[in-house]
Structure 1
Amino acid sequence: MALKAVIFDLNGVFIQSPKLSDRFRDDFGVPPEEFLPALKSALTQARLPGGVDVYTSMRPHLERWGITHTKEEFFHYWFSAEHEVPEMADLAHTLRAKGIRVLILSNNFPERSAYYADFPFVRDAVDTVYYSWQIGYPKSDPRAYQAVLDREGLRPDECVFFDDQEENVRIAQSLGIASHVFSGIDGVREVLVGVFLSFRTK
């Protein structure tokens, strides 16, 4: 296989953070079993074009939990705990130096995407970021992966995909993309050495 591109998930791969449900439990006393269904419903809408923003969907729940955050305060609380993974940014630079495109496919929403635009690795280490709310499909839909292939002019056998969710990996595999569950940078290196024998990182 002539490897031309590596497609990565974003959150849980290039960006790490404590679980938001754990933070709401610890800081506000909201049980995860109550918080997570509310957040999942809000994200399902916000991740698609023209969807209701997360704060609007979450506001009734926040009020019920006695949380008085404004929209700006809510997103600042959420996003400020997120941080880049330097080792992944370094790996992306190495790939690009070898002529391999580095792409990101992420289920996300406009406010979070705007926040990530200021992250150095998004500007410097990645060729293109594809967000679900922009391309029109979440990663649970095979058309999300096909959209990336079409826009990049790639065949499935020219790519490798890494995601931290098994469901997304299975869907990408169904299109013929060599796909792997992300378990850390060492696992990524092992896969890349297998498909691209000259690949080496520090």
Structure 2
Amino acid sequence: MIKTLIFDFGDVFINLDKSGAMKNVLDLFEIETLSEDLIAINTLYEQGLIATEEFLEFYQDNFPNLSEKDIIDAWNYILKDFPKNRLEFLQQLAKEKKYKLILLSNTNELHINWIKDQVLFYDDFKACFDAFYLSHEIQLRKPNTNIYEFVLAENKLIPKECLFIDDTKENTESAEKLGIHTWNIDETSEDIINLFKIKKDLF
């Protein structure tokens, strides 16, 4: 029986434009693909292993024709709207207190600051959770299995009693190796508000 629901953030609650953001970055930086160096620095930043100042300095050193604002705007381009009905769904879950609710997101400081500024109900959203983990704060990152082990240990959870919802297949596959139930949500055709219809076999 499922006792704990572990949610990703992007494309589960807040909508993302991954393809649009990538096209925007490649056009802005006038490159064809992201180099290994850029991918590495992005990963370090998302895991909280370098500070925002160092991250921005790296990009300005590599793309001196761009301002700090250009870089921040490009970085945050991926973040879109947060449908209110998803908040209401979560608030109802929190009110019922039937499940422990946990957020587990690969999120960096620039993104979460943008969300805090743009999503007027961010505090209400965060208040729904029993635990709220952002990769840059805990210095762990999906799909590495140690991030799931951390959440299980911190909250004294039994894997088979947990359901983890994430839009990235690599992340759900990693969680499954530990015995956690998963839903690799397809954001193009599925919505978190339909959780109990789509995954009714688990409840």
TM-score using structure 2 length: 0.78
Q: Could you tell me the percent identity over the aligned residues?
A: 22
Aligned length: 189
Deviates more, 1:3-12 or 1:179-188: 179-188
Residues 32-111 of structure 1: pairs in structure 2 closer than 5 A? 33-35=32-34, 37=36, 39-53=38-52, 54-63=55-64, 66=65, 68-70=66-68, 72-79=69-76, 81-99=79-97, 100-111=99-110
CA shift, 1:52, in A, is 4.6
| Greater relative CO, 1 or 2 (CA 8 Å, sep 6+) | 2
Deviation sequence 1:54-105 (CA, Å, 0-9, x none): 3233223332xx3x222x5532454365321333222212222221233211
Structure 2: state its 5+ residue gaps.
none
Q: Partner residue of 2:191? A: 185
Question: d(CA) in 2 for partners of 1:37 and 1:189?
Answer: 40
Question: d(CA) in 1 for partners of 2:147 and 2:181?
Answer: 16
TM-score using structure 1 length: 0.78
Quickly say closer, same or farther: Cα 1:168–1:189, change in 2 above 3 A: same
Q: Partner residue of 2:6? A: 7
Q: Partner residue of 1:199? A: none
Q: Which amino acid aligns with 2:191?
A: I
> What do you get for the CA RMSD once the two structures are aligned?
2.6
Quickly say closer, same or farther: Cα 1:97–1:161, change in 2 above 3 A: same
Deviates more, 1:90-99 or 1:34-43: 34-43
